[in-house]
Amino acid sequence: MLKGHCLCGAVQYETAAPPTLECVCHCTMCRRAAGAPMVGWFTVPRGTYRVVSGTPASYRSSPQAVRTFCGGCGTPLTFESTRFPDETDVTICSLDDPEQVPPRDHTRAATRLSWVKLADGLPVYPDTRT
């Protein structure tokens, strides 16, 4: 069981499914949504992510995608796209313990910021992993 929460604590969630597709995303939309140079994500089957406290806010970040976040403190929480209808992506660093889900690669690195120097030895994919 993975558990997570936003910065202010109003939103708490859990997912019983084992994480997959653990990655660090360098795309411009994740960056802007988080105000950060890159964002760690893991994927669980749609429906296994469950909010247990609070009500996240949401918005459509592109025609096919919806992102949720805490309306009180702004912590980014999830990403869902109609392109992947069976999946929910969750931000690694909203977990109670992000050490539980280390990333396995860097994705969308074609738009990586020039001042981000990667030295973790993980695979770097220009676009998404195929």
Contact residues: Zn ion, CB under 5 A:
6, 8, 10, 25, 27, 30, 70, 72-73
- Shortest separation between residue 54's beta carbon and Zn ion, angstroms: 7
- Shortest separation between residue 90's beta carbon and Zn ion, angstroms: 13
Distances (CA, A) of 50 to 46, 106, 116, 126: 10, 26, 33, 32
- Shortest separation between residue 30's beta carbon and Zn ion, angstroms: 3
Q: In Å, how far from its chain's centre is CA 120? A: 19
For Zn ion, which is the closer residue by CB, 10 or 66? 10
Residue 71 is inside which H or E element, if any? none
DSSP code at position 95: B
The whole-angstrom separation of Cα 46 and Cα 17 is 10
For Zn ion, which is the closer residue by CB, 52 or 73? 73
For Zn ion, which is the closer residue by CB, 2 or 11? 11
The whole-angstrom separation of Cα 4 and Cα 116 is 27
For Zn ion, which is the closer residue by CB, 8 or 36? 8
- Shortest separation between residue 73's beta carbon and Zn ion, angstroms: 3
